[in-house]
A = this chain, B = another copy of it.
């Protein structure tokens, strides 16, 4: 059965808009969107999702320009770019009651830790989105494929509350599941993101170009191995064969450009710290030698920083 949770969505980019719209439209849930630049357009024109699973439009969206207007919620979906985490310190407090859950759908490592430090670890959950989305205009989201959402507790195995959120997403048409160890899942996702998002920037190469170039292909595998080794040292066991699986599942993607590559090419901020910086720092603290990750971080940090 679905919950009666009141949801807030912070961040109206592709991820927040898509999952929020699915909850509201597909599941009939009570969803409130906190927006900034898209607020006017969405109040006027609603939210549109174009998808091969079927287009839909929400004419009247609960969209707000401040968290105070939304007030306390049961679940806050956090879908801001990790480069904007500072904003959350101001935005989240009005959304909290005693048991409010903070579910970060953000990329990479360090986001749960940040929320835990600022609002208490017991509130924090995380979700990993495996989805191809693009925000083509304010309030207009294109959904190219997939959509799996893996949700877990920051600390410990899934609880009743985890299962209820998963069920809400499933009722809304999202292929959601609960995961036993969220941070292990984050490392598994990084095994793909570190090389492919990284070489999208450092080599200006899309997924297919990385796979077809002998040297970049080998480099991608070596970056995956470094990531798996670092994860292992940190207590997250990922089998070595996982690297080969990631290569195999990348071929059907064709000339796919990761969100980081698109951000970089559009001159937008790149999530340097959550995707490369924080994994590197954790690997270094665990005394793992990750020369290629270290180099990738140095290059991307320089390339993506406006001078």
> A residues engaging B (CB < 8 A)?
202-205, 209, 213, 215-216, 218-219, 222, 291-292, 294-299, 301-303
Q: Are B203 and A299 in contact (CB under 8 A)?
A: yes
Q: A291-B291, A295-B296 are in contact. List 16 more A-B contacts (CB 8 A).
A: A202-B202, A202-B299, A203-B298, A203-B302, A204-B302, A204-B303, A209-B302, A213-B302, A215-B294, A215-B301, A215-B302, A218-B298, A222-B291, A292-B292, A295-B295, A299-B299
A206 to chain B, nearest CB (A): 11
Q: How many copies does the complex hold?
A: 2
Task: Please judge, given known A-B contacts A291-B291, A291-B292, A292-B291, whether A298 and B219 are in contact too, CB under 8 Å.
Answer: yes
A302: chain B residues within 8 A (beta carbon):
203-205, 209, 213, 215-216
Please report whether the interface of chain A is mostly helix, strand, loop or mixed according to DSSP.
helix
A299: chain B residues within 8 A (beta carbon):
202-203, 216, 299
A216: chain B residues within 8 A (beta carbon):
298-299, 302
The distance in angstroms between the C-alpha atoms of A205 and B294, with both chains bound, is 17
15 A-B pairs within 8 Å (CB atoms) are namely: A202-B202, A202-B299, A203-B299, A203-B303, A205-B302, A209-B302, A213-B298, A213-B302, A215-B297, A215-B301, A218-B298, A219-B294, A219-B295, A222-B291, A292-B292
A292: chain B residues within 8 A (beta carbon):
291-292, 295
A21 to chain B, nearest CB (A): 37
Q: Are A298 and B204 in contact (CB under 8 A)?
A: no
The distance in angstroms between the C-alpha atoms of A177 and B297, with both chains bound, is 42
The distance in angstroms between the C-alpha atoms of A299 and B292, with both chains bound, is 12
The distance in angstroms between the C-alpha atoms of A288 and B61, with both chains bound, is 61
Report the nearest B residue to A297, measured CB to CB. B215
A297: chain B residues within 8 A (beta carbon):
215
The distance in angstroms between the C-alpha atoms of A297 and B222, with both chains bound, is 14
A291: chain B residues within 8 A (beta carbon):
222, 291-292, 295
The distance in angstroms between the C-alpha atoms of A216 and B300, with both chains bound, is 10
